[in-house]
Structure 1
Amino acid sequence: MGLRAFGIAGLICALAVSSAGAQTAALVAYAVSGDAIPQSLTGMPGDATRGRGIVVNRQKGLCLLCHTGPFAEERFQGDLAPSLAGAGSRWSDGQLRLRIVDSRRVSPNTIMPSYYRIDGLTRVGAAWRDKPVLSAAEIEDVVAFLQTLRE
């Protein structure tokens, strides 16, 4: 069965499981400007190699649950969201950062989860409350990797 069989509830459940590894910590404050978070959450650029690892990891980033991309070695890539191929050409660092941090700020009806948000969420398991799916450093790593995808 594919993701469509499980629907949004399955995606939310999967995200709750993936966030179990995230550490409880105060979220870094950030400023949204238009459709972007222009400043790095850590004050430093991320590591693209680590970012790729997060994107293809089905227990951490879960990106391939919904997205496809230039990952020939990865089977069963999603088709519910835009391809990640060319993401670095379509969006700036800041635009990618906001879409990962809280995509609902860009598209309120999106099915993409908020990877760096802990408030205003519903039906989150007790073990995973108050923990972002990704840390600020991991967000920056994913942004750095996505910027390498130019075609």
Structure 2
Amino acid sequence: MKYRIGLGLAAILAATAASAEAVKPTQVVFEDGAISASLSGMPGDAANGAALMNKGSGNCIACHSVSALSDLPFHGEVGPPLDGAGDRWSEADLRGIVADAKMMFDGTVMPSFYKTSGFTRLGDAYTGKAHGEDEVQPLLTAQEIEDVVAFLVTLKDE
């Protein structure tokens, strides 16, 4: 009986994952800079979000300090500290900020992590040539955005 229930639950989870389709970067709907719905259709993984804060295309701590990640070296001071981010902004606000902070904060230097168009002469690595518009990939995937947001909402003032 337990085996059948486990198989049934696995089938439901697989069907849910298969039906969840990521919102394409060009189809994201911002409302006053916020994005109310999940970009991936799946919940974020806060542990993976914390890992993305320090590596790869995320590397948030290059510009922000985060006390919860005090074991990591070289926190930046370009952006505001992220301590208390989960109290200052809603999940929708955080999703919008991570996806494209320029939609909420005009003039910010924070990169757009889920954007693939509208750039001014986006270079193709070190070739000296411009990217074609259809070749650009976002810095973070829809699920990685959800993961980072899941971590950020845990950062509460104590």
Normalised by the shorter chain, which TM-score bucket? 0.7 to 0.9
Q: For residue 137 of structure 1, give the secondary structure of its aligned residue in structure 2.
A: helix
Tell me which structure has the larger Cα radius of gyration: 2
Name the aligned partner's letter for residue 58 of structure 2.
G
The structure 1 segments of at least 4 consecutive aligned residues displaced by more than 2 Å after TM superposition are 26-30, 122-125
Partner residue, 1:136: 142
Q: Distance in 1 between matches of 2:30 and 2:143?
A: 18
Q: For residue 102 of structure 1, give the secondary structure of its aligned residue in structure 2.
A: helix
Partner residue, 1:95: 93
Give aligned pairs, total.
126
Q: Distance in 2 between matches of 1:49 and 1:123?
A: 35
* Structure 1 gap segments, 5+ residues each: 1-25
* Structure 2 gap segments, 5+ residues each: 1-23, 126-130
The question of 1:68 aligning with 2:65 is answered yes
Shift of 1:124: 2.9
Partner residue, 1:27: 25
Partner residue, 2:38: 40
Provide, for residues 27-68 of structure 1, a one-character-per-residue CA deviation record: whole Å limited to 9, x for no partner. Answer: 3722212231000001221110110010122x3312111100
Q: Is the 8 A contact 1:28 1:41 kept in 2?
A: no
Shift of 1:115: 0.2
Name the aligned partner's letter for residue 149 of structure 1.
L
Q: Is the 8 A contact 2:91 2:153 kept in 1?
A: yes
Q: Percent identity?
A: 42
Q: Is the 8 A contact 2:32 2:103 kept in 1?
A: no
Q: Distance in 2 between matches of 1:62 and 1:124?
A: 20
- Say if 1:141 and 1:28 are closer, same or farther in 2 by CA, change over 3 A: farther
Name the aligned partner's letter for residue 138 of structure 1.
E
